[in-house]
């Protein structure tokens, strides 16, 4: 009897070791992907542009309002509206409190947005997250404070994970300052690694959790994963409209607000919560990434089909205004130059008038 019970135990041990190895591999992948993404973000930041934004901090203000006022409040309201339990609510809140992600930089290029504004918003929201993300989590998790998961919410570990992202960002800024061509290459690598990593994370996490746990994710969580990025895009566009920004900046702010750093969210969930507590909610940031990418893709497609002509007209109008201003400036310069001078006709007419008078 004892001998017959030993093989199942060994098999269970092997299975546990396999799951543990897969979980450790997933943690390593998440950490590496986060470092590459943050390095690419730092490589996209130029010190001169950063100084200009700090002197006129509209981008920083929009990042603050979008990422740490609008999105956390939106996540909190959706969690209440769909009556989520504490586990799902923490996953949704954590995603809503994350800073902006690099996907918005890629999408801003495709919709002819303001790349300087996009990069400054992403970088500033990442830096602000070091202090504001734990604060937002503490404020909005009060509704579920009596639950064990919220009581164990590791705000210190969240801050530590955020602090570790500052090193690759700083290294990227240094690379941009010393080697601009290398920085351009690293930016492209980070954007492509972002897309590839999301696919790999989805596959590995689905393999680790299994279709059974995927099926146990409530329909309300899927609904939030669809609605939350869509509402974020709308809130960002409305926020930029309130600030009376031009259309291409409105598109940029819209994408920056709705696109969250799901790699950071996944890393925090993976590194700070034990699997037996968080369960299938590891999948929420990946579901969010899937739907935010799909909806941003539809945004880009709609712009390519219907909005590109208006952008060309705007750009043409700006060029015409520039030409008119330049012509006016040249005319004024000519007028200023001719003021007080005597032409050849005037020189010829001056001696003739006294001669005619003498006759």
Within-domain flag for 24: no
> Strands (DSSP E) along the chain, which ranges?
none
Cβ neighbourhood burial of 224 (10 Å; 0-12, 13-18, 19+):
buried
Query: Domain with 174 in it: what CATH number?
Result: 1.20.1530.20
**How many other CB atoms are found less than 10 A from the CB of residue 228?**
24
Query: What confidence tens digit (pLDDT) does each residue in 68-94 have?
Result: 999 999 999 999 999 998 888 888 999
Q: Is position 154 within any domain?
A: yes
Range of the domain at 220: 30-307
Q: Would the pLDDT of 305 be above 70?
A: yes
Neighbours of 130 (CB within 10 A): 17
Task: Give how many domains the chain has, as a whole number.
Answer: 1
Contact criterion met (CB below 8 Å) for 285 and 275: no
Answer whether 287's CB lies under 8 Å from 225's CB. yes
**Does some domain include residue 162?**
yes
Which of 241-255, 287-301, 341-355 has the least mean pLDDT? Answer: 341-355
For residue 219, being part of any structural domain is answered with: yes
Rounded Cα gap, residues 160 and 93, in angstroms: 18
Residues 6 or more apart whose CB falls under 8 angstroms from that of 104 comprise: 118, 121, 122, 252, 255, 256, 258, 259, 296
| Helix/strand/coil for 312 | helix
What 3-state DSSP class applies to 260?
strand
In a domain, 17, yes or no: no
Per-range mean pLDDT, top range of 88-102, 187-201, 232-246, 312-326: 232-246
R_g over Cα of the chain: 29
pLDDT band at 254 (very low <50, low <70, confident <90, very high): very high
pLDDT tens per residue across span 9-32: 444 434 443 456 656 666 677 667
Q: Half-sphere exposure (CA, 13 Å, Cβ side) for 285?
A: 28
In order, the DSSP letters of 50-104 are HHHHHHS-HHHHHHHHIIIIIHHHHHHHHHHHTT--HHHHHHHHHHHTS-B-THH
pLDDT digits (tens, 9 = 90+) for 135-144: 888 889 888 8
Q: Is residue 282 part of a domain?
A: yes
3-class DSSP state of 307: helix
146 burial via Cβ count (<10 Å: 0-12, 13-18, 19+):
exposed
Residue 251: what pLDDT?
93
Query: Is 229 inside any structural domain?
Result: yes
DSSP 170-214: HHHHHHHHH-HHHHHHHHHHHHHHHHHHHHHHHHHHHHHHHHHHH
More confident residue, 154 or 188: 188
The answer to whether residue 325 sits within a structural domain is no
Structure-token pair, residue 93: 């809140």
Choose among 196, 260, 272, 273: nearest CA to 225: 260
């Amino acid at each position: 009897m004892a001998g017959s019970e030993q093989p199942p135990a060994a098999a269970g041990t092997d299975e546990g070791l396999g799951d543990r190895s897969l979980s450790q591999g997933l943690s390593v992948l998440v950490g590496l992907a986060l470092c590459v993404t943050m390095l690419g973000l730092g490589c996209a930041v130029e010190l001169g542009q950063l100084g200009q934004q700090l002197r006129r901090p509209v981008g920083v203000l929009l990042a603050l309002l979008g990422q740490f006022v609008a999105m956390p409040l939106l996540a909190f309201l959706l969690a209440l509206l769909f009556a989520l339990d504490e586990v799902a609510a923490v996953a949704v809140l954590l995603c809503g409190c994350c800073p902006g992600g690099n996907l918005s930089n890629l999408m801003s290029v495709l919709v002819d947005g303001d790349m300087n504004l996009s990069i400054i918003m992403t970088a500033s929201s990442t830096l602000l997250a070091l202090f504001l993300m734990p604060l937002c989590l503490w404020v909005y998790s009060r509704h579920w404070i009596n639950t064990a998961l919220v009581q164990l919410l590791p705000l210190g570990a969240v801050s530590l994970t955020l602090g570790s992202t500052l090193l690759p960002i700083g290294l990227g800024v240094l690379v941009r300052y010393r080697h601009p061509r290398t920085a351009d290459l690293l930016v492209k690598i980070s954007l492509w690694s972002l897309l590839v990593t999301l696919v790999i994370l989805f596959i590995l996490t689905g393999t680790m959790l299994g279709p059974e746990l995927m099926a146990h994710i409530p329909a309300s969580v899927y609904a939030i994963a669809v609605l939350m990025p869509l509402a974020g895009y709308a809130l960002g566009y409305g926020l930029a409209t309130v600030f009376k920004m031009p259309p291409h900046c409105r598109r940029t702010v819209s994408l920056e607000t709705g696109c969250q750093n799901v790699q950071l969210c996944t890393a925090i969930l993976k590194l700070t919560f034990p699997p037996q507590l968080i369960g299938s909610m590891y999948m929420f940031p990946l579901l969010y990434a899937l739907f935010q990418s799909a909806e941003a893709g539809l945004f880009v497609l709609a712009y390519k089909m219907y909005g590109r002509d208006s952008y060309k007209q705007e750009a043409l109008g700006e060029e015409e205004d520039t030409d008119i201003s330049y012509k006016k400036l040249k005319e004024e310069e000519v007028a200023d130059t001719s003021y007080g001078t005597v032409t050849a006709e005037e020189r010829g007419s001056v001696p003739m008038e006294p001669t005619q008078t003498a006759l």
